[in-house]
Chains A and B, each alone.
Chain A
Amino acid sequence: MGFSISAAAAIIGVSVLMILEISLGTLMPVYMDIQKSYDDMRDRAVEELLTSITITYTNTTVNASGYDLNVTLENSGSTTVDTQYLDVLINGVSVPFSCDSSYIYPENNASIQVYGVSGSGENKVKIITENGISCYDSYMV
Chain B
Amino acid sequence: MGFSVTGSHVVFFIASIIAAGAVSGVFIAVTYNINGSLSERGARVQELLDTEFLIINDNEHIPSSGGDYLFYLKNIGAKQLVTTNETFTIFIDGEIITQNLYTFSVETIRKGEISTMTIDTSVISEGDHTLRIVGPQSIDDEFIFTI
Contacts and interface: CB of A to CB of B under 8 A. Distances in A.
Do A and B associate with each other? yes
Interface of A: 1, 3-5, 7-9, 11-12, 14-16, 18-19, 22-23, 26-27, 30-31, 33-34, 37-38, 40-41, 44, 82, 84-85, 87, 89, 91-94, 124, 126, 128, 130-132, 134, 136
A26 B38 contact: yes
Main secondary structure of the interface of B (DSSP, over half): helix
A124 B58 contact: yes
B145 to A, nearest CB: 9
Contacts of A19: 27-28, 31
Nearest to B59: A92
Contacts of A132: 54, 56, 74, 76
Nearest to B41: A30
Interface stretch (B42-50, B80-88, B90-98, B123-131): B42-50
Contacts of B16: 4-5, 7-8
Contacts, number: 125
Nearest to A131: B76
A108 B32 CA distance: 56
Most buried by A among B32, B35, B60: B35
Contacts of A136: 58
A44 B114 CA distance: 18
B7 interface: no
A11 B20 contact: yes
B17 interface: yes
Nearest to A3: B13
Nearest to B23: A12
A92 B27 contact: no
16 contacts: A4-B13, A8-B20, A15-B23, A15-B24, A22-B32, A30-B43, A41-B49, A41-B78, A87-B56, A87-B72, A89-B57, A92-B62, A93-B63, A93-B70, A94-B72, A126-B58
A89 B9 contact: no
Contacts of A130: 76, 111-112
Contact of A41 (B12, B50, B70, B74): B50
